[in-house]
Amino acid sequence: MSALQLLIVALAGVAVAGVLGAFVIAYRRSEAAPGTSRSWRSGVSRETRKADRSDLPSPVVARRPAPADEVPEAADDMPDVRAEAVPEEPSGEEEAAVPSVPGAVQAVEVMRVEELSPQEAGVNRRQFFTRALGITFGAFLGLNGVSYLAFLWPRLSGGFGSDIDVGAVADIQAEVIQGDGSILPKFVPEARAYIVPFAESDLSRSQFEGMPVVVGGLSALFQRCVHLGCRVPWCETSQGFECPCHGSKYNYTGEYEAGPAPRNLDRFEVLEEDGRMIVKTGTILQTPRAVAKTVPYPQGPSCIALTTADEV
Tell me which of 115 and 245 has the higher pLDDT.
245
**DSSP for 95-116, written as a single string:** PPP----TT-PPEEE-----PP
| Start-end of H helices in the chain | 3-32, 46-54, 118-121, 125-152, 169-176, 200-203
Q: Which fold has domain 163-285?
A: Rieske Iron-sulfur Protein (2.102.10)
Q: Say how far apart CA 14 and CA 52 lie, in whole Å.
A: 48
**DSSP for 9-49, written as a single string:** HHHHHHHHHHHHHHHHHHHHHHHHSTTSTTSGGGGS-HHHH
pLDDT at 93: 47
pLDDT at 92: 46
Report pTM.
0.51
pLDDT at 116: 62
Report the pLDDT averaged over residues 128-156: 79
pLDDT at 149: 76
What are 184-239's pLDDT values in tens digits?
Answer: 999 999 999 999 999 888 888 889 988 999 999 999 999 999 999 999 999 999 99
What are 93-140's pLDDT values in tens digits?
Answer: 444 445 555 555 666 666 776 676 665 666 677 888 888 888 988 888
Angle at 102 between CA 100 and CA 92, to 5 degrees: 30
Whether 247 has a pLDDT exceeding 70, the answer reads yes
Domain ranges of the chain: 1-54+122-153, 60-111, 163-285
